[in-house]
């Protein structure tokens, strides 16, 4: 082995002082190249279930539910995947199902597990659709996210974030030929750049991370805003929705129950912590513990959610 | 990575791991040596075991908000405290100098972490000695990022302050309180929603706290403090009288507010 190769190997296994080779690698999901299985949750609406994990070298950040909608004339990608590698696999999956051109790539919000695959679709020259605040959020965080993912996957398989070329401020209609998709931009909720999609043909709602099922939600926008947006989404007459994490489809609005319960417990107990003079460090370890058994990755995200809720609510 | 390649890489990489980690440690030690030289010149910096403790999450849950607690064993001996975040763009997160009404036993701050980094807490005694403690903080993955978005609406409130009694209220000779200051503490990474231009760094530069005309502490800071900076500190004496706060940001905006401690509650 040459010195150059040696250095690469060392870098690859050294994520900022953390030796990946010293971590237990057992039982972690492994993404394989090429097309992956999807569920057709409604006619022409295909969703891949993400792994319920954080990003790892092996899962290539294929941890979010991502998919595509096939119209008469064109295909819309509804979240391009968590890395360039994941995006390539999604593209291969689409090409296996249809020869129609990929005309739209929708990026549901700023988080890397949903949108770092966008680069895989550049060769299709699609319209990249995002919330009006997505570009701003990507400019602030894109490089940081890319660096973190590159430590796990290597820069080549991470790709670079892609800025939206069509920005949605309130609502926009996207016509795939005989099939209209309504994109709605939400005020600060899960993040500050959440975009949901309603397929008017089948009535299916693609909420992305405005709904989590089974995998702990992550709060990165506004707790009050999320509760408000969830109430509005529940009032939409969709029979089924595709959440951003969890099963590829759940019944609606019953599928919102777990998330709503968690957010309300988080709000109530954080308010109580603030009112009783508990500081943020204490709140992080005590709030919403009754929810622990209900969610995967609870210990990885609950503390962060409490910190987010605390800094929002302490100014009320 | 396929399974075969991963297994191969694992086999060759294992012996290299410790060597690479050592390289890293050497670089980190060099960074601290530089910082120490810049801050303290040739003064000796002694091991602070038994003098000063520094608490924070080992793995930052949120890179934009990492709560940090510094506690000292002999507050009467302490003239000033430093919090240094080695790998942040502006490493000196806080330099706190205590006045006659200040009790240095407890200091809590919320900071940003840009990368895996060492964090150092240093106490400077009234005799001019320096004692140091440190810990290593891993940055978090997932959706966390050191630069959060800030809503334009919140800017209308800039400089607004709150005082809250802190959970730890001391043993009677002093009491602890938390000061919250509404301020975006822009680190230059935020972008204007409308113009799409980067917002220039604008951060809280100094905070002076007085109790009934006596100085509690004065703090110098920079972009390492989290948005809406929060400070928990202790004040000598009983929880009554007037607490006056004067804060100034890097654009020389001055924010002043006073609080009647009799109204504070417990």
**Contact check, Cβ <8 Å, A9/B6:** no
Q: Chain A, 269-298: which have a CB under 8 Å from a chain B CB?
A: 277-282, 284
What mean pLDDT comes out for the span B76-96?
95
**Contact check, Cβ <8 Å, A14/B9:** no
- In which band, very low, low, confident or very high, does the pLDDT at A26 lie, cut at 50, 70 and 90? very low
**Contact check, Cβ <8 Å, A14/B149:** no
Chain B residue with the nearest C-alpha to that of A148: B141
pLDDT, residue B148, reads 66
Of B218, B255, B261, B263, the residue nearest B242 (C-alpha): B261
Q: Does domain A32-169+179-313 have CATH number 3.60.15.10?
A: yes
**Contact check, Cβ <8 Å, A13/B20:** yes
Phi, psi of B162 (to 5 degrees): -135, 145
Strand partners, B72: B52
**Does residue A24 register a pLDDT over 60?**
no
pLDDT, residue A316, reads 86
Cα angle B252, B224, A158 (rounded to 5 degrees) comes to 130
For the beta sheet containing A39-42, the strands, ordered from the edge strand earlier in sequence to the opposite edge, are A39-42, A45-48, A66-70, A75-78, A102-107, A127-131, A166-168
Q: Which of A21, A54, A300 sits opposite B13 (nearest CB)?
A: A21
What mean pLDDT comes out for the span B118-128?
97
**Contact check, Cβ <8 Å, A280/B110:** yes
Cα angle A275, B62, A163 (rounded to 5 degrees) comes to 125
- pLDDT per residue as tens digits for the range B4-18: 333 333 333 333 334
**Does residue A284 register a pLDDT over 50?**
yes
- In which band, very low, low, confident or very high, does the pLDDT at B173 lie, cut at 50, 70 and 90? confident
Partners of residue B136 in chain A, C-beta under 8 Å: 17
**Does residue A56 register a pLDDT over 80?**
yes
Q: Which CATH superfamily is domain B43-263 in?
A: Immunoglobulins (2.60.40.10)
Please report, for residues A116, A145, A260, the alpha-carbon distance to residue A264 in angstroms, rounded to integers and kept in the order given.
Answer: 31, 29, 6
Q: Is A9 on the interface with B (CB under 8 A)?
A: yes
pLDDT, residue B10, reads 36
Partners of residue A17 in chain B, C-beta under 8 Å: 21, 24-25, 28, 116, 136, 138
ipTM: 0.86
| Per-domain residue ranges of chain B | 1-41, 43-263
Is residue B161 within 8 A of residue B179, CB to CB? The reply is yes
pLDDT, residue A29, reads 85
**Does residue B1 register a pLDDT over 50?**
no
Percent of chain B at pLDDT above 70? 83
**Contact check, Cβ <8 Å, B141/A21:** no
């Amino acid at each position: 082995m040459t010195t150059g190769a040696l250095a690469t190997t060392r870098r690859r296994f050294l994520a900022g002082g953390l030796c990946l080779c010293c971590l237990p690698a057992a039982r972690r999901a492994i993404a394989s190249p090429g097309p992956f299985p999807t569920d057709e949750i409604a006619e022409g609406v295909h969703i891949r279930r993400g792994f319920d994990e954080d990003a790892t070298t092996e899962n290539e950040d294929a941890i979010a539910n991502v998919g595509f909608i096939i119209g008469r004339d064109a295909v819309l990608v509804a979240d391009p995947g968590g890395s360039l590698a994941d995006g390539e696999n999604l593209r291969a999956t689409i090409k296996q199902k249809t020869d129609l051109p990929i005309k739209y790539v929708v990026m549901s919000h700023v988080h890397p597990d949903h949108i770092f695959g966008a680069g895989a679709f550049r060769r299709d020259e699609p319209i990249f659709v995002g919330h009006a605040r997505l570009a701003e959020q990507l400019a602030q965080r894109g490089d940081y996210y890319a660096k973190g993912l590159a430590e796990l996957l290597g820069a080549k398989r991470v790709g670079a974030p892609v800025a939206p070329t069509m920005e949605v401020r309130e609502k926009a209609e996207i016509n795939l030929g005989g099939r209209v998709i309504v994109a709605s931009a939400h005020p600060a909720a899960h993040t500050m750049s959440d975009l949901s999609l309603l397929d008017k043909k089948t009535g299916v709602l693609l909420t992305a991370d405005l709904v989590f099922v089974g995998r702990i939600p992550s709060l990165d926008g506004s707790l009050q805003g999320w509760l408000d947006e969830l109430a509005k989404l529940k009032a939409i007459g969709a029979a089924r929705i595709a959440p951003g994490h969890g099963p590829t489809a759940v019944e609606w609005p019953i599928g919102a129950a777990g998330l709503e319960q968690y957010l309300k417990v988080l709000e109530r107990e954080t308010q109580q912590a603030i009112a009783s003079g508990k500081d943020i460090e204490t709140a992080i370890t005590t709030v919403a513990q009754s929810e622990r058994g209900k969610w995967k990755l609870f210990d990885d995200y609950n503390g962060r959610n409490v910190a987010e809720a605390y800094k929002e609510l302490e100014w009320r | 990575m396929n399974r075969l390649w991963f297994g191969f890489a694992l086999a060759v990489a294992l012996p290299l791991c410790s060597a690479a980690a050592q390289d890293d440690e050497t670089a980190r030690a060099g960074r601290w040596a530089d910082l120490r030289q810049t801050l303290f010149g040739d003064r000796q910096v002694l091991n602070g075991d038994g003098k000063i403790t520094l608490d924070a999450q080992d793995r930052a849950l949120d890179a934009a908000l990492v709560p940090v607690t510094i506690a000292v064993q002999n507050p009467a001996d302490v003239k000033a405290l430093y919090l240094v975040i080695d790998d942040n763009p502006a490493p000196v997160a806080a330099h706190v100098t205590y006045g006659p009404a200040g009790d240095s036993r407890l200091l809590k701050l919320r900071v940003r972490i840009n990368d895996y980094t060492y964090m150092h807490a240093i106490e400077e005694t009234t005799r001019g000695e320096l004692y140091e403690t440190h810990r290593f903080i891993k940055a978090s993955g997932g959706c966390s990022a050191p630069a959060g978005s800030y809503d334009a609406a919140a800017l209308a409130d800039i400089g607004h302050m709150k005082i809250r009694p802190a959970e730890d209220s001391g043993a009677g000779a002093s009491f602890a309180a938390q000061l919250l200051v509404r301020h975006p503490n822009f680190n230059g990474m935020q972008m204007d929603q409308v113009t799409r231009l980067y917002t220039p760094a604008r951060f809280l530069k100094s905070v002076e706290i007085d109790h009934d005309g006596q100085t509690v502490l004065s703090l110098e800071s920079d972009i390492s403090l989290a948005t809406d900076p929060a400070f928990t500190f202790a004040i000598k004496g009983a929880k009554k009288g007037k607490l006056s706060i004067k804060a100034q940001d890097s654009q020389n905006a001055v924010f002043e507010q006073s609080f009647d401690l009799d109204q504070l509650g417990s």
